Amino acid sequence: MENKTTNYLKYAIGEIVLVVIGILIALSINNWNEQRKQKQNYLDIIRTVKNDMIFDTLAINQVIQYYEEREYAFLLSKKDSITKEDYLKCEECPRIISGFSPIILQNRGFNLLQSFNLNSSIEKDSLNLQLSVFYSAYNLGVNKAVESCRELFTEYTNIIRESKPWFKDWYEGKNDDSFYEFVLNDPIYKNRVAQYYFYIYKYYLRILMEAKMEEKKLLKIIDNRLANIN
């Protein structure tokens, strides 16, 4: 009887051990699968950040090219010595106060990264920190520059709309003598053009170029990270 009891206890303990081992193995497999899913989600988010930055650099290039091609018009329009003949040769000159080309950095990937609940070792990753620093600084900087330039353009467009009889014709691309008298000789207009030039070329484009350079650096880091993981 004692032998049977001992054997039964050994068998029961063995069964319990096997069950515990099975549970531990299942938990380990589940944890491994969860970590694998989290890692894959993280990689997908990083790829989204990469695509956002590629889109940003292309958009920034377009804005920079747009204004580089029109810089001569700003420089010419703010000159006190400009003649009507010079002005008529400048196709872009009449339109430099009529619009603005804004840009907004893409944030979808970074927003996903911020809300992603990952383990602490990855949360403290240097890439995440660099992305956080970049978006915190340049979202604010670019948005502020865009807002300032847009307000400047809108303000003056509203002023000439309310005060200049030729506004309707100018808006439709038709310019009369009173318009040319204004853009060639009005000192307030010259001052406004000079202010536009400063805001766009010394402020707006400068911060866009800085953002582009930083994004290029981050894209290299992201590419290296993805290559090493893969």
Q: What is the pLDDT of residues 195-215, one digit of tens each?
A: 999 999 999 999 999 999 999
Closest CA to 189 of 161, 156, 221, 214: 156
H or E segment to which residue 209 belongs? helix 205-229
Query: Six-digit token pair at 186?
Result: 């009005």
Determine contact, residues 195/148, Cβ cutoff 8 Å. no
Q: What is the pLDDT of residues 76-95, one digit of tens each?
A: 999 988 899 999 999 899 98
Alpha carbon distances (Å) from 29 to 16, 18, 152:
20, 16, 60
Q: How far apart are CA 11 and CA 202, in angstroms?
A: 83
Q: How far apart are CA 225 and CA 230, in angstroms?
A: 9
Mean pLDDT of 178-195: 93
Residues 6+ apart with CB under 8 A from 52: 105, 106, 107, 108, 109, 110
Query: Six-digit token pair at 76?
Result: 């010419």
Residues 6+ apart with CB under 8 A from 47: 109, 226
Question: Does residue 5 have a pLDDT over 90?
Answer: no
Mean pLDDT of 149-167: 90
Mean pLDDT (the chain) is 86
Question: Does residue 136 have a pLDDT over 70?
Answer: yes
pLDDT (0 to 100) of residue 201: 95
Determine contact, residues 128/113, Cβ cutoff 8 Å. yes
Q: What is the pLDDT of residues 65-78, one digit of tens each?
A: 999 999 999 999 99
If DSSP codes are grouped into helix, strand and coil, which group holds residue 172? coil
pLDDT (0 to 100) of residue 38: 77
pLDDT (0 to 100) of residue 211: 96
Q: What is the pLDDT of residues 11-55, one digit of tens each?
A: 666 667 666 676 666 666 666 666 677 788 888 999 999 999 999
Determine contact, residues 48/109, Cβ cutoff 8 Å. yes
Q: How far apart are CA 209 and CA 69, in angstroms?
A: 16
Question: Does residue 149 have a pLDDT over 80?
Answer: yes
pLDDT (0 to 100) of residue 95: 85
Buried b (16+ CB within 10 A) or exposed e, 48-63: bbbebbeebbebbeeb
pLDDT (0 to 100) of residue 14: 66
